[in-house]
Structure 1
Amino acid sequence: MCICVNCRHINECKTYIFIEKQHKNINLKDKNIIFIPKNTLIQINIHKKINYTVIDWDLIECLSFVEKPGSWLN
């Protein structure tokens, strides 16, 4: 699971915006990228199905993480 959901920087983080673009999230036009995190580690999970492949992107480590539960709700 992506640690971004409980990070204070989620709404302006360059790495989070990148991950959301990989998930094909189309509601990114109003995002203001002003924060560049330090030392991030992204995990990519590939799930193969019979007719298709699902790729899941998760940020699992970030030295800039500052916990603020529910930050993604805003």
Structure 2
Amino acid sequence: MCICLNCNRVDNCLIVFFVEQKHKEKGTIIKKASFFPQSPILLCINLFSKKNSYSFEWDVNECLSYQEEAGAWLLSCSKILKSSSYLSFDLLF
């Protein structure tokens, strides 16, 4: 799991923007990528599917700029919060 989900800087980090591009999820979290973190370590997992195709899972494993804020990605994704009452409930606890 990517540690960026619980980082205070998730909404403007260039590495999160890079990971989103690799996952083909453009514009879901990042509004303005202006922060470049110190020493991020990315983990790339190669997955082989039953359809004889490869896919890659990209995650940030470590980062010196990490500042913990639980659920920070939920606050950055207002569309997700509006469409799911479960996520809104989970954020409160």
TM-score, shorter chain, exceeding 0.5: yes
Q: Helix, strand or coil: the match of 1:20?
A: helix
User: 2:8 & 2:58 partners in 1: Cα distance?
Assistant: 20
Q: Which runs of 5+ in 1 are unaligned?
A: none
Higher-RCO chain (CA-CA 8 Å, sequence separation at least 6): 1
What is residue 40 of structure 1 aligned with on the other side? 40
Runs of 4+ in structure 1 over 6 Å off: none
Rg larger for: 2
Between 1:7-16 and 1:18-27, the stretch displaced more is 18-27
What is residue 7 of structure 1 aligned with on the other side? 7
Q: Which runs of 5+ in 2 are unaligned?
A: 76-93
What is residue 69 of structure 1 aligned with on the other side? 70
Identity %: 33
Q: Which has the higher helix share?
A: 2
1:60 aligns with 2:61: yes
User: 2:45 & 2:15 partners in 1: Cα distance?
Assistant: 17
Q: With the length of structure 1 as denominator, give the TM-score of the two structures.
A: 0.91
